[in-house]
Amino acid sequence: MWFTENAWQPMLLFAILAMIAAFGWYRRLQTRYLVLCFCCLGMMGVAWYADRTIVTEREKVQEAILEITHAFAAKDFEGVHSRISQRSLDLRTLADMAMNLATLENMRVTDIQVELKSEATRAVSRFRVNALITSERASAREPAYIEARWQTEEGRWRMIDVKFLDPITGDVEADLMQLRRNHLTVSDVSRWRF
């Protein structure tokens, strides 16, 4: 929605106004209060419809986050690659290695925060992922806190960079930029908590 993140705030406002108008009609039996009540109820429907049809850039980034994480859990290489920038070959390599090293089950994505930058052509997102991660060595439920950078390419939001943050403190644990400088290897990826 364009002025709120969801439709509940304007719908609640219109519901309160409708109740006040209904009470005014009940007390005074004037038609204008009844008309105002029905107009407010109609505006609740308009607010709900507007929330469903108007999609903001922030909501598009949130959808991209859900798409890439679910594709990652399903080991859908094409789905993951479709949400990673063509120019970020090392990020694609990192995603491929991670999908080959581990299997995710019972994944939940929560606490999605999106900050738009550069006139809504770039974005920084932070989100938490909790999943049962199974690798050759072990299986454990591991939380992850991820900061991803996005940009619009061909009308779609695509990931261009990623940082893995400590789930409690938010400090950087692994930064793709550091790995780029240090030449990413499979052993670097396998040391992360997969």
Q: Are residues 180 and 120 located together in one domain of the fold?
A: yes
Between 113 and 174, name the one with better pLDDT. Answer: 113
Give the residue among 6, 3, 10, 20 at the shortest CA–CA distance from 45. 10
Q: Are residues 118 and 40 located together in one domain of the fold?
A: no
Position 181 scores a pLDDT of 59
Report residue 12's pLDDT band, with 50, 70 and 90 as the boundaries.
very high
Average pLDDT score over residue span 101-126: 89
Q: Are residues 102 and 28 located together in one domain of the fold?
A: no
The yes-or-no verdict on residue 194 having pLDDT over 50 is: no
Mean pLDDT of all residues belonging to the chain? 85
Of 117-121, 149-153, 175-179, which range is least confident? 175-179
Q: Are residues 70 and 95 located together in one domain of the fold?
A: yes
Buried-state track 59-84, b at ≥16 Cβ within 10 A, e below 16: ebbbebbebbbebbbeeeeeebbebb
Q: Are residues 122 and 171 located together in one domain of the fold?
A: yes
In the chain, how many domains are there?
A: 2
Query: What is the per-residue pLDDT across 124-155, written as a single tens digit (0 to 9) for each?
Result: 999 999 988 888 877 888 888 999 999 999 88
Q: Are residues 43 and 91 located together in one domain of the fold?
A: no
Type of residue numbered 141: R
Q: Are residues 119 and 166 located together in one domain of the fold?
A: yes
Q: Are residues 134 and 78 located together in one domain of the fold?
A: yes
Average pLDDT score over residue span 78-84: 92
Q: Are residues 46 and 65 located together in one domain of the fold?
A: no
For residue 143, the enclosing domain spans: 57-190
Q: Are residues 72 and 142 located together in one domain of the fold?
A: yes
The yes-or-no verdict on residue 2 having pLDDT over 60 is: no
Query: What is the per-residue pLDDT across 84-93, written as a single tens digit (0 to 9) for each?
Result: 998 888 888 8
CATH number at 89 reads 3.10.450.50
Buried-state track 116-155, b at ≥16 Cβ within 10 A, e below 16: beeeeebbbbbbbbbbebeeeeeeeebebbbbbbbbbeee
Type of residue numbered 81: H
Query: Residue 125 in contact with residue 113, Cβ under 8 Å?
Result: yes
Q: Are residues 132 and 185 located together in one domain of the fold?
A: yes
Query: What is the per-residue pLDDT across 18-46, written as a single tens digit (0 to 9) for each?
Result: 999 999 988 888 889 999 999 999 999 99
User: Looking at the DSSP assignment, which residues form a beta bridge with residue 143?
Assistant: 130
